[in-house]
Chain A
Amino acid sequence: MLYREAGQFKVSYAKDQQIFPIRQDRIAVLALVAVAFLVVPFVGNQYWLSAIFIPFLIFSLAALGLNILTGYAGQLSLGTAAFMAVGAFASYNFMLRVPGMPILLAFAGGGTVAALVGILFGLPSLRIRGFYLVVATLAAQFFILWFLTKVGWITNYSSSGVITAQQIVILGYAFSTATSKYLLVLGIVAVMALAAKNMARGNVGRSWMAVRDMDVAAEVIGIRLMRAKLLAFAVSSFYCGVAGALFAYAYLGTVEPEAFSLDLSFRILFMVIIGGVGTVLGSFLGAAFVTLVPVLLSVTVRFLDSSLNLHIAESAISNLELMVFGSLIIFFLIVEPHGLARLWQIAKEKLRLWPFPH
């Protein structure tokens, strides 16, 4: 009824090629962004902002980074957390060693260093693919963490190999409250998500998708494989690097390299798979699923336990959360193997026909 594109005529190429061709979509997305920027900071309390929204946005950015590489360019990777670590530790060093370094530039610098490291570890992708590439990126994961622990200079010779993120100050304004950090993270994520969407539907994204679908064919039609693959590694690692820097600066504060373990790489891969491989929206949906559902489950189980006086043992509650979460993942993957983003797309298509499907 409301969601129908009848009567919306596109009279120019620009209109035909916009990100959201349907007016209702545009309104909904603009409203969502407006709510995120203007309403959430005032309504959300410190818990919601600093413990839910900030990590959700940071993980979304990391998932987006991996999605560029795996979803769009078809190169599997298990080194996401390591590239995040590079971003975090590089930003720390930019701030520490360059006097008067603006923090946003340090984040970008961290992302750039991560991109360079990404290109380096992306080189094997020119020769190998699939599971063999996974092994190569797994090596990146272990090598980078080992390197960060090994070289004292990176952590400014901290005895325990831990870095403490400097305070975020932009133009004399200190981002110390949860609200200000949230707005900063949201701003960065919004800009980078828009850039990713535009890259994906532009020339670059098309060449990535061609490489993903069949690289020999892509080469035949004139796409330079090396350039496309390495660009995917660079852009993906840049996104992960910025996410890592934000993880350190806006969320944890003091970080050890262990925080970027293989476990985190897997979590981000799950986000991409659950959310939807090869979609920008899927990165956000997947991150939301992986970060929010366990919290929701934990709160619900505990609420039921206390309100119904069930007296479930504490360890049973903890295990129950994991079991339910695991079954939910399996359920969603069976119902829609293409992820939550595909479910959303199907829902929209049904909605366009509703209530008269014939």
Chain B
Amino acid sequence: MKAIKTVLLGVALFAAAAAAAQTEQYMPVLSYRVGPSAAGGSGYYGGAIDYWTLVNMTGGINGVMLKWEECETEYNASKGVECYERLKKNSGGATTVEPLSTGIAYGLFDRVAQDKIPMSTFGYGLASSADGRVYPWVFPLGTTYWDQMAAMIAYLGQKEGGLDKLKGKKIAFLYHESAFGKEPIPVLDALSAKLGFETLKIPVPVPGQTQESQWLQIRQAKPDYVIMWTYGVMSTVALKTAAKTGYPREKLLGVWWAGSEEDVIPAGDASKGYVSAAFSASGTNFPVVQDIKTKVYGAKKGNLEDPTRLGNVMYMRGLSYGIIVVEALRVAQAKYGKGKVMTPEQLRWGFEHLNLNEARLKELGAPGLFPPIKTSCADHEGSGMVKFQVWDGTGFKQVAPFMAGDREMVRKMVEETAAKYAAEKKITPRDCSKEN
């Protein structure tokens, strides 16, 4: 009798455990915390994980707890793919994935489409994947590189007192000689033709530890502005070399991967007064950051080993990503049942129906953290707005609020490129009017 009771109890416990397992929403985290990109990766994933910890500590998403598992990708495409394959079937299946690496994202393009798991590439990735009809499973949320370039030109126009004032100006484009650096060139060319400014494209071979010849070229050409499309050590060296060659730093404008504490602090005084783009705000003044500080770090559950990094640029980008995933899950739950675990397809619907306006961000304790994002079946980007910040030697201060460039032109280019890709890969685009 006792044996039967034990068995029954065991079965009941097992059933309870199984039921409990189903109230968890699982996400693989393809993080990188070693190697040259470690500073960015640990800050970014630290931000996202801290926010998810906070959500779990305050009751989850309508009772659904978040669960995640990490795997070290070393920012390496081959390892990233292995991590994705290793984690995707765990804990009832992955719901979404964010590799924070262009190379890994490319390696996952076909795989996520086959596995039907939405992948976000928040603030990077392939610009044409904003067309959700051709890329149903990829979400370059916020702003793609193309929209960022358009916004940068708009900012320079504003600085000059109108876009028409850019006519006849000379803008140098100092870029990382890779897929990342080449990506915005079509938009730069199109805008240069449209607005009548001259461009001077100067590639910097990766990793870019010496840039004397490039800056000599800049010094000779005397451009009115230099757009720095750099990454990692290349950004720091660019700032230092600009100072050495005497190019005024007020005329530099950095891409958002060249605008974090990790880029400007090593350049020391040379970076004071340097303006860069950003797709999310930074600083610890947000109520949500304070919440994380007291609740998560108070309970010693924080993900960062060095809590002083709270509020820095990479951390806040990760936090923004964490918030967007949770919000997409909420949107999906509102349609498919509150308190239920969402399938990847249902979460995709959530990602496609995001409407994160300022009021909603305020409710979340993150007013103005990132621009309003409103996505749809065809538009997987949802915003296209960028803000601009200046480094004053101790912190980043906003110089221009979230603003967009020529979105209409960029969208047209996105659709053309996506159509070309669809033809090459023989994909029939989704008909968005038939989706609910």
Contacts and interface: CB of A to CB of B under 8 A. Distances in A.
Interface string B119-134: 0000000111000000
A314 B109 contact: no
B85 A160 contact: no
Contacts of B81: 51, 55, 251-252
A149 B177 contact: yes
Interface stretch (B180-188, B192-200, B246-254): B180-188
Interface string B170-208: 000000011110110110000000000000000001100
A149 B78 contact: no
B212 interface: no
A159 B107 contact: no
A96 B425 CA distance: 10
Interface stretch (A9-17, A317-325, A347-355): A317-325
A164 interface: yes
A299 B180 CA distance: 32
Q: Which 3 A-B pairs have the closest CB atoms?
A: A51-B85, A253-B110, A254-B106
B367 interface: no
B82 interface: yes
A256 interface: yes
B305 interface: yes
Interface residues of B, number: 47
A295 B110 contact: no
Interface string B290-308: 0000000000000101000
B3 to A, nearest CB: 28
Interface string A145-168: 010010000001001111010110
Interface of A: 46-47, 50-52, 55, 96, 142, 146, 149, 156, 159-162, 164, 166-167, 176, 251-259, 261, 263, 294-295, 298-299, 313-315, 317-319, 321-322
A283 to B, nearest CB: 17
Given A256-B178, A322-B34, A159 B82 contact: no
A268 B114 CA distance: 30
B309 interface: no
5 contacts: A258-B102, A261-B206, A314-B31, A315-B34, A315-B42
B86 A295 contact: yes
Contacts of A46: 85
Contacts of B76: 263
B233 interface: no
Interface in B1-54: 31-34, 38, 42
Contacts of A156: 424
Nearest to B38: A315
Contacts of B93: none
B72 interface: yes
B177 A51 contact: no
Contact of A160 (B72, B77, B183, B425): B183
B71 interface: yes
Interface string B389-426: 00000000000000000000000000001000100110
A253 B109 contact: yes
A314 B85 contact: no
B103 interface: yes
A47 B71 CA distance: 14
A256 B205 contact: no
Given A50-B85, A256-B178, A315-B33, 13 more contacts: A146-B177, A159-B183, A164-B109, A164-B421, A166-B425, A176-B114, A251-B78, A255-B106, A259-B77, A298-B71, A313-B305, A315-B42, A317-B72
Contact of A258 (B71, B109, B178, B425): B178
A159 B106 contact: no
A65 to B, nearest CB: 17
